């Protein structure tokens, strides 16, 4: 049985959530998690390690390649195959060029496909590197493996319009036993056990929601099996807080503290406020950012106005006309916001001037 680990989109050197308090720590965690993968391979060696592009977020520095190569040298029983993706595409002056890798490492340096046999194993890996940040030609679709008996792997980065578009059916029937993909940050199997994106090893930005890690697999008598291994140190999560008419700023803060505590609190959250709040209650969502790792707060709450009653009550006034303008049809989120902001302004102005209330 041949065992492998497939990872992609490590994005070493990325600084997620720049400007947020946890940002520099995240930069370190991306490196740490990569080291943890190598340490776990060192403890429990597999035959093959595939890194399907974007190991670096940008051109690697020389000392960064040295660190990575050192890590690879600590797993001499594992054959490492890697390529440059669109983020770390090999530039003219790139340190990737002719880097003296450890003996167990195959770096696909050229921009034309090459097939390399893993020393002493019936394993054939085909790949090439990006030399420019965008490649619009479907360079993978027509590739086929060699005639040798064995485990044939294609290392491939991209899959969208500007990064080597891929025809799933063409690749499915290409003859490769496994297509180790990279570029899409959400883990997903295009074809189960055959064509898989492991996703970014660590989430790189707030769009990379949910668990992240790598793919672990095996090939035995031509049968490939894979499974996703969650390995990232944190993930981006959505946290929904439901408000009611009794909610206040302080009660909301308590609600959030409890929710974070229950969830472990180490992750990074996109907070969504839903439900209603009493019209006379002010909520300051930005203050919630002090309570945890919060990248973004979406306030979808609306004041608990009884529109029908208000429309009747203020019929013939500006506020009444304003409500009438919005009622009787489905409102977009923007229109709904306009309705409630406008209404609050009109009612407050009316209340202070006394004019609207006098009519009741
Ligand atoms: Mn990419």
Do 23 and 126 reside in the same domain of the chain?
yes
> Distance between CA 48 and CA 54 in Å, rounded?
18
Measured in Å, residue 225 CA sits from the centre of ligand 1 at 25
Nearest to 241 by CA among 277, 263, 273: 273
Do 159 and 266 reside in the same domain of the chain?
no
> Distance between CA 200 and CA 232 in Å, rounded?
9
Do 16 and 158 reside in the same domain of the chain?
yes
Measured in Å, residue 232 CA sits from the centre of ligand 1 at 18
Measured in Å, residue 281 CA sits from the centre of ligand 1 at 46
Measured in Å, residue 57 CA sits from the centre of ligand 1 at 9
What is the total count of domains within the chain? 2
CA 234-266-215 angle, to 5 degrees, is 20
Do 266 and 188 reside in the same domain of the chain?
no
Measured in Å, residue 86 CA sits from the centre of ligand 1 at 5
CA 358 to chain centre: 56
Q: For every one of its 360 residues, what pLDDT tens digit does the chain have, with 9 covering 90 and above?
A: 999 999 999 999 999 999 899 999 999 999 999 999 999 999 999 999 999 999 999 999 999 999 999 999 999 999 999 999 999 999 999 999 999 999 999 999 999 999 999 999 999 999 999 999 999 999 999 999 999 999 999 999 999 999 999 999 999 999 999 999 999 999 999 999 999 999 999 999 999 999 999 999 999 998 999 999 999 999 999 999 999 999 999 999 999 999 999 988 789 999 999 998 888 888 899 999 999 999 999 998 888 888 888 888 888 888 888 998 888 888 888 888 888 888 888 887 776 555 544 444
Measured in Å, residue 107 CA sits from the centre of ligand 1 at 17
Measured in Å, residue 100 CA sits from the centre of ligand 1 at 24
Measured in Å, residue 199 CA sits from the centre of ligand 1 at 10
Measured in Å, residue 145 CA sits from the centre of ligand 1 at 24
Measured in Å, residue 184 CA sits from the centre of ligand 1 at 7
Q: Judge contact between 260 and 268, C-beta under 8 A.
A: no
Last residue of a domain, one of 191, 213, 230: 230
Do 68 and 200 reside in the same domain of the chain?
yes
Put the strands of the sheet holding 223-230 in their side by side order.
Answer: 105-108, 79-83, 48-51, 2-7, 213-220, 223-230
Q: What is the CATH number for 10? A: 3.60.21.10
Do 121 and 182 reside in the same domain of the chain?
yes
Measured in Å, residue 340 CA sits from the centre of ligand 1 at 43
Do 128 and 269 reside in the same domain of the chain?
no
Measured in Å, residue 87 CA sits from the centre of ligand 1 at 6
- Full residue range of the structural domain in which residue 248 is found: 236-358
- Model confidence, pTM: 0.86
Phi and psi (nearest 5°) for 128?
-160, 170
Do 255 and 159 reside in the same domain of the chain?
no
Measured in Å, residue 104 CA sits from the centre of ligand 1 at 24
Do 53 and 191 reside in the same domain of the chain?
yes
Last residue of a domain, one of 198, 213, 230: 230
Do 294 and 184 reside in the same domain of the chain?
no
Last residue of a domain, one of 230, 249, 272: 230
Measured in Å, residue 180 CA sits from the centre of ligand 1 at 13
């Amino acid at each position: 049985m041949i065992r492998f680990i497939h990872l992609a989109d490590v994005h070493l050197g990325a600084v997620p959530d720049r400007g947020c308090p946890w940002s520099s720590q995240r930069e370190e965690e991306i490196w740490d998690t990569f080291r943890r993968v190598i340490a776990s391979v060192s403890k429990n060696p597999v035959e093959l390690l595939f890194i399907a592009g974007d190991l670096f977020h940008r051109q690697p520095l020389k000392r960064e390649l040295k660190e990575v190569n050192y890590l690879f040298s600590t797993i001499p029983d594992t054959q490492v195959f890697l390529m440059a993706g669109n983020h770390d595409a090999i530039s003219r002056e790139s340190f990737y060029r002719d880097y003296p890798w450890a003996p167990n490492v195959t770096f696909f340096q050229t921009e034309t496909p090459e097939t390399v046999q893993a020393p002493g194993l019936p394993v054939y890996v085909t790949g090439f590197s990006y030399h420019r940040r965008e490649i619009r030609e479907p360079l993978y679709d027509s590739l086929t493996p060699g005639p040798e008996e064995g485990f044939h792997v294609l290392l491939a980065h991209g899959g969208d319009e500007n990064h080597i578009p891929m025809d799933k059916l063409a690749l499915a029937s290409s003859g490769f036993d496994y297509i180790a993909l990279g570029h899409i940050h959400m883990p997903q199997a295009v074809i189960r056990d055959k064509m898989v994106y492991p996703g970014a090893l660590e989430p790189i930005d707030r769009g990379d929601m949910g668990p992240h890690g790598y793919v672990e697999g095996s090939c035995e008598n031509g049968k490939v099996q894979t499974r996703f291994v969650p390995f990232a140190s944190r993930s981006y999560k959505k946290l929904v807080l439901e408000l009611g008419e009794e909610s206040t700023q302080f009660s909301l803060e308590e609600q959030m503290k409890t929710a974070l505590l229950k969830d472990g609190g180490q992750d990074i959250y996109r907070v969504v406020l839903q439900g209603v709040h009493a019209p006379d209650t002010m909520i300051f969502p930005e203050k919630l950012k002090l309570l945890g790792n919060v990248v973004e707060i979406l306030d979808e709450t609306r004041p608990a106005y009884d529109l029908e009653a208000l429309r009747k009550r203020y019929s013939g006034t500006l506020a009444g006309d304003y409500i009438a303008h919005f009622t009787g049809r489905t409102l977009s989120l923007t229109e709904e916001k306009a309705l409630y902001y406008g209404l609050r302004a009109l009612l407050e102005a009316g209340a202070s001037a006394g004019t609207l209330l006098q009519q009741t």
